[in-house]
Amino acid sequence: MTGLQDKVVIVTGGARGIGAATAARMAKGGAKIVITDLLDELGTKHAAQIGGMFVHHDVTSEDDWQRVIDTTIEHYGRLDGLVNNAGIATGAPGTPIEDETLESFERSLKVNLSGVFLGLKAVVGPMKAAGGGSIVNIASVTGLSGFPGVSGYGASKWGVRGLTKIAATEFGAHRIRVNAVNPGATLTPMNEGQVPVGEGNFPPAPLARIGAPEEIAEAVSFLISDAASYTTGADISVDGGWTARPAG
Ligand SMILES: NC(=O)c1ccc[n+]([C@@H]2O[C@H](COP(=O)([O-])OP(=O)(O)OC[C@H]3O[C@@H](n4cnc5c(N)ncnc54)[C@H](O)[C@@H]3O)[C@@H](O)[C@H]2O)c1
């Protein structure tokens, strides 16, 4: 893939799962990666493996965002890309709205949606200064229809897709592109033991299997790169065709 060489890209929640695979894929393409996460040990180790750097970060903290941006600029001199990937799944999967607690619902919104909002707010200044940039927000197929039993998570991901389009509209004049990727069921520590592994074992998707983090990473890396220079305000589902099925 062209168009990643020497780009300075922050990947939130990059210590493991989809974020870790994305950070590794972009580093392979020549990007300079800043991994941020709550998980210091794992994040530091992964950053060293891919030749990037690690910064401790809680995406719900505006102060932390400022520190991440300052450290990135100090170290690399500029900022070209952001992958808003950090996310959590709160509450037991399958919990109906009547049993979901307000605390659990709001926790999903805080990390998955407010965390993305704070990221957009924090990077727009430095990206304007750099003459442009590219942002990818990790949403989900749960933000495309009414998946039962994930009210907080699903609402947060609908919000991420909406916020992506708003930011794309606001930032376009500054040559800052903003897109979203909707992963389908993907094998990561977030859902290990909850998703069926192996070919043919996931019938809801036409490809009949769940995805690997590396397969999501390819789409994210494309959108960050200059290869996607005319793509903004879009969201791409990487879900084995799960959401392409007709209703019924
Ligand atoms: N795995 C899937 O099936 C799937 C499907 C659709 C969307 N997603 C989304 O993909 C993204 C990555 O998920 P994953 O499956 O790799 O999960 P994961 O749990 O393996 O990784 C998420 C990472 O985010 C970090 N994180 C959590 N809260 C944070 C915070 N407040 N500040 C900073 N870092 C924080 C975690 O420490 C972890 O390293 C999430 O946004 C998730 O909602 C995942």
| CATH number of the domain encompassing residue 192 | 3.40.50.720
Domain membership of residue 97 (yes or no) is yes
Which of 11, 37, 44, 111 best tests ligand 1's pocket when mutated (most atoms within 8 Å of CB)?
Answer: 37
- For the chain, the distance separating the N- and C-terminal CA atoms, rounded to the nearest angstrom, is 38
CA of 177 to the centre of ligand 1 (A): 22
Rounded to the nearest 5 percent, the helix, strand and coil shares of the chain are 45, 15, 35
Q: Whose CA is nearest to atom 23 of ligand 1?
A: 13
Between CA 64 and CA 73 the distance in angstroms is 14
* Helical spans, DSSP H, in the chain: 17-28, 40-50, 62-76, 102-108, 115-130, 151-171, 213-224
Average pLDDT (215-226) is: 98
Domain membership of residue 3 (yes or no) is no
CA of 131 to the centre of ligand 1 (A): 30
Contact between 32 and 200 (Cβ < 8 Å): no
Backbone angles phi, psi at 119, to 5 degrees: -65, -45
- For residue 79, the surrounding DSSP H or E stretch is none
Q: Name the band, by pLDDT with cuts 50, 70 and 90, for residue 1.
A: low
Q: Whose CA is nearest to atom 36 of ligand 1?
A: 13
Three-class SS state of 52: coil
Domain membership of residue 192 (yes or no) is yes
Q: Whose CA is nearest to atom 17 of ligand 1?
A: 190
Between CA 168 and CA 22 the distance in angstroms is 21
Per-residue pLDDT for 175 more than 80? yes
Give every strand in the sheet of 8-12, ordered side by side.
53-56, 32-37, 8-12, 81-84, 133-138, 176-183, 235-238
Per-residue pLDDT for 2 more than 90? no
Domain membership of residue 210 (yes or no) is yes
User: If we measure between CA atoms, which residue out of 136, 116, 132, 114 comes closest to residue 124?
Assistant: 132
Q: Whose CA is nearest to atom 18 of ligand 1?
A: 190
Question: Which residue is associated with the tokens 């990790």?
Answer: 138
Rounded to the nearest angstrom, the gap between the alpha carbon of residue 152 and the centroid of all alpha carbons in its chain is 17
Q: Please tell me the least confidently modeled range out of 1-5, 69-73, 132-136.
A: 1-5
Per-residue pLDDT for 157 more than 60? yes
Residues tagged active-site: 153
Domain membership of residue 248 (yes or no) is no
- Lining residues, ligand 1, CB within 6 Å: 12-13, 15-19, 37-39, 57-60, 85-88, 111, 138, 140, 183, 185-186, 188-191
Q: Name the band, by pLDDT with cuts 50, 70 and 90, for residue 55.
A: very high
Average pLDDT (2-8) is: 93
Which of 188, 194, 197, 209 best tests ligand 1's pocket when mutated (most atoms within 8 Å of CB)?
Answer: 188
**How many folded domains does the chain comprise?**
1
Q: What is the dihedral of CA 189, 192, 195, 199, to 10 degrees?
A: 90
Domain membership of residue 247 (yes or no) is no
Per-residue pLDDT for 248 more than 90? no
Domain membership of residue 1 (yes or no) is no
Can you tell me which atom of ligand 1 is nearest the CA of 89? 43
CA of 13 to the centre of ligand 1 (A): 6
CA of 245 to the centre of ligand 1 (A): 26
Average pLDDT (79-93) is: 92
Give the range of the structural domain holding residue 77, as residue numbers without chain letter. Answer: 8-240
